[in-house]
Amino acid sequence: MSNNENEVNLWVSSIVNIESKSDHSLKYLESILGPVKNDPLSYSLGDELNPSESQISKIIQEEINNEVQKELEGVFMHEIIFKVEEKIFIEKINIYEKLCPGSCILKIEALEKQIPEKWFVLWETKVPLNSDKPKLFAPNIKSSPFKTDTIKFTVCGSIYLIDGIEIKGNKIAIGKEDIKENQMSSLSRNLKTLVQNELFADVYFEVDGKLIPAHRNILVYRSEYFRAMLSQNGHFKENFSMQDPIKNPIYIKDIEFDIFLEVLNFLYSGHVNTVDNDTNRNLLIGIMRAADKMNLIELGKLCLYHLTEMIDEDNVIRIFVEACDSENVLHEVLSFCYEVISSNFKKISSTVDFCSLKQELMIKIIENVIPKLNRLTSSVIEGSQNATVTIPASQDLGNTESNDSDDSDDSD
């Protein structure tokens, strides 16, 4: 670990998924998880293989050659998805392989977005590398332009033995092209210290009976809403006394204290709270509504981005309910919720959250999700042509439509 507190060294801590692109199964070592057990220096030396390892190495090489001859059609192709414990900007990957280091790997990708799934290629080769000794494989990867905790290897060969995968990176972007961005981050942190700070405060807001000191210069230049409130014809309005502004607070109605405070946080620093929990997800929804009221378009988009990053199968129904629970319905949030629900309708429709929905909200989901499932099913059937295809979702879809119909009859 270096002296730079933002630099991080992580080891793959879990295997998320292994998907074979052929009938050949993939074998791997459990020791892949966590730091390597042997001296890392031994991998750099490239020790000779023992007789049994040499035999396995020949099998791997034959499979790789077979794959190359067939122009990488996927005869022995597999995808392995790994995870580390923290999201970072990936800058380097060290792979401690037991046999044929690097010769099996065709592509390394980083997960950019969970839903819809989007991968960023860090490294790729068209021809497997030629190597027959265990050593450290450190491909010359592209640095990821985003934070991630998930990587994917595309490998060929039915045997792939790894002792450990080390991921090195940074908590902040440090490339030359990001220097300006990091300088702005420093400025944002400094400005954020002024939120609720009475130092040089020249205006006060009263929200839910609590006073919040603020600074007119910042608010006027950051927001048309506050510019109209605090200034006129290029000058501050005279009714806000510079002598004792605390005695003349501006009353803010229809916005909760925590939400208004986050609006100020954004205006001062350009950031919002992104802790992923139920309380903060509901707070982001409240901020989106406040942003709409104050015409803070950038803030609304930022909240939507963070919210879509947090939505998953476990919380999508709760977020859906919050997005519906107001005269100001957040249609962009609902659209994303429908996408998540339709991607795994069977699982989500059996959860307590879904079954506890009010009837009108359940009908709203069914009306918007069922057409998506119908289109998905039709697309799979058309693509199969005359082949026999098993579509697990089709049975559930039929049951859902039937249940929906039954509910309609009952309501009548």
Q: Please enumerate, as own/partner, the contacts of 84-87 that have beta carbons within 8 Å and a separation of 24 or more.
A: 84/10, 84/11, 84/12, 84/13, 84/149, 84/150, 84/151, 84/167, 85/10, 85/13, 85/149, 86/8, 86/10, 86/149, 87/147, 87/148, 87/149
Chain segment 136-172, per-residue pLDDT in tens: 788 889 888 888 999 999 887 666 667 788 999 988 7
Chain segment 162-211, per-residue pLDDT in tens: 778 899 998 876 554 454 555 556 778 888 899 999 988 999 999 999 99
Residues with Cβ within 8 Å of 91's Cβ and at least 6 positions away in sequence, in order, are 141, 143, 144, 168, 169, 170, 174
Considering only 168-172, 233-237, 385-389, which range has the smallest mean pLDDT? 385-389
Contact (Cβ atoms closer than 8 angstroms) between residue 156 and residue 78? yes
The ranges assigned to domains in the chain are 7-174, 183-307, 311-412
Amino acid letter at 236?
F
Spatial distance between the Cα atoms of 61 and 132, rounded to a whole number of angstroms: 8
Q: Which numeric CATH code is attached to 7-174?
A: 2.60.120.260
266-287: b (≥16 Cβ within 10 Å) or e: bbbbbebbeeeeeebbbbbbbb
Spatial distance between the Cα atoms of 21 and 19, rounded to a whole number of angstroms: 6
Closest CA to 162 of 92, 68, 93, 63: 93
Q: Is the pLDDT of residue 410 over 50?
A: no
Chain segment 24-81, per-residue pLDDT in tens: 566 555 556 667 655 554 444 444 544 455 555 565 666 666 655 555 555 567 788 9
183-307: CATH architecture: 2-Layer Sandwich (3.30)
Three-state helix/strand/coil letters over 270-330 = CCCCCCCCHHHHHHHHHHHHHHHHCCCHHHHHHHHHHHHHHCCCCCHHHHHHHHHCCCCCC
Contact (Cβ atoms closer than 8 angstroms) between residue 246 and residue 204? yes
Lookup: tokens for 111: 């997960």
Phi, psi of 3 (to 5 degrees): -75, -15
Contact (Cβ atoms closer than 8 angstroms) between residue 103 and residue 128? yes
Q: Alpha helix (H) ranges present in 87-223?
A: 179-192, 216-222
For residue 24, the model assigns a pLDDT of: 58
Lookup: tokens for 388: 């026999």
Q: Token match 């000794």: residue?
A: 133
